[in-house]
Chains A and B, each alone.
Chain A
Amino acid sequence: MIAELVGLPYVAMATKLDLDGDTATIERDIQGGSEVLEVNGGFVLSAAKGMAEQRIPNMRGIMAARSKPLNVIPPSGGESHTSVVNYELPPAKAECKYIDAENAGELIALLHSEAKVI
């Protein structure tokens, strides 16, 4: 949405990003594999897991951040088109059925005859 509002290209769920001057090389997962994309100039990117190592802030950084000014910007314009009507809990899970480890093979029969998934 941000990309559309500011009129920039958008790449979703990137797993790798390399910047070389004005050109960005981005890797992204697609159906059954991945693809490498190239974008010139500004763009909006959403990152998937694995793109970067997390950096844990050190104590000095945390203390320094406390004294930084905090600018609160009020939201502007835009009407809301959706709203949550209510929340409900998912249906309760039935009891777990235990199978003796000695007869683990029985599971396959149960999955076929009772659960009907294989």
Chain B
Amino acid sequence: MSIVVFVSNTKGKINKAGLEAICYAADMAKTSGDSVTAITAGSVEGDGGAGAYGASKLLVGASVNHSDSTQVTNMVNAVISDEGASMIVTSHDNDGKQVAPRLAARLNCGIVTGVTGLPDTSAGFTVKKNVFSGKAIAQVSITSDKKILAILPNSHGLHEHGGSAEVSAWSGDAGAASVTVKEVKVEESNVVPLPEAELVVSAGRGMKGPENWGMIEELATELGATTACSRPVSDIGWRPHHEHVGQTGVAIRPNLYIAIGISGAIQHLAGVNGSKKIVVVNTDSEAPFFKAADYGIVGDAFEVVPKLIAAAKAFNASK
């Protein structure tokens, strides 16, 4: 039997969140003896990296629009029945969010979104997910034969399984288009998108104004990190909305999160408390963020950040 994984792609490459979903499925397949079949809409170069992370097959639906949840659901559903699969994995990203619940309704089966760990099959089938803004972990059991898991990005991590996937075109009928894409705006930059970033430098109202963001960007560049911000900063328009991390913005789980001039309100923590290491720089030693931090610096960002930049430069030079 196979585990079917739906992944999305950008510019011919499978997104990191998708590769992580493949990796998750491959780790599951190791114990169950299944194989992993990945499926994507549009076009990818070669196997798009699917093989290296554990897929043995990659199906590409060239005529399917990845933004059309109806078409994608039809395609994935057809593959599930062709493969006789009972386990379906997607990433819990914007594309996965369009497809996974639709599929659950179509198949009349159980779904868990935002999964953070491999399933426990010692008694039934249970997976873990974060609930109450990351303040607790719930163990959820699925009882239907078919099961859908949407994996929280950056929660499983990537490791190579070494292999290559047999690529073939998916030639089934995905049905009429229900959505047309008018325009795609992808920013040309070398910066890793925020949900996938492993290193993030974030700043808040403590920066006093958008004109002071230069040093934040410089520190991020030196560390090879992506920049982010707190909600008030994006609300008053100092930074774009897509940089806002928190409960209502992007939820991230980088390896390193550096928060500068952010007090650490519970709504902000909800979006970042999955980070592996947290560094907090704040003038107020009573800022609640220090309770969630691994490293803290009590001091003025305008004095501390230049020191960090200098140290990062020296560190890069010594590498």
Contacts and interface: CB of A to CB of B under 8 A. Distances in A.
A117 B255 contact: yes
A37 B180 contact: yes
Contacts of B73: 4
Main secondary structure of the interface of A (DSSP, over half): mixed
B217 interface: no
Contact of B297 (A43, A82, A107, A109): A107
Interface string B88-101: 00000111011001
A76 B309 CA distance: 60
A104 B179 contact: no
Given A10-B98, A10-B102, A118-B223, A31 B193 contact: yes
Nearest to A41: B178
A88 B137 contact: yes
Interface in A1-37: 1, 3-5, 8-13, 15, 25, 28-37
Contacts of A84: 138-141
Contact of A28 (B94, B104, B310): B94
Residue picked from B73, B281, B295, B298, most chain A C-beta under 10 Å? B295
A33 to B, nearest CB: 4
Interface of B: 8, 10, 15, 67-70, 73, 93-95, 97-98, 101-106, 108-112, 126, 130-131, 134-144, 178-187, 189, 193, 198-199, 223, 241-242, 244, 248-249, 255-256, 273, 276-277, 279-281, 290-300, 303-304, 307-308, 310-312, 314-315
A72 interface: no
20 contacts: A4-B102, A11-B179, A31-B93, A81-B143, A82-B110, A82-B112, A82-B142, A85-B126, A86-B138, A87-B138, A88-B139, A90-B136, A99-B297, A100-B297, A101-B304, A106-B311, A107-B295, A108-B312, A108-B315, A112-B315
A34 B181 CA distance: 11
Contacts of B280: 96
A9 B70 contact: yes
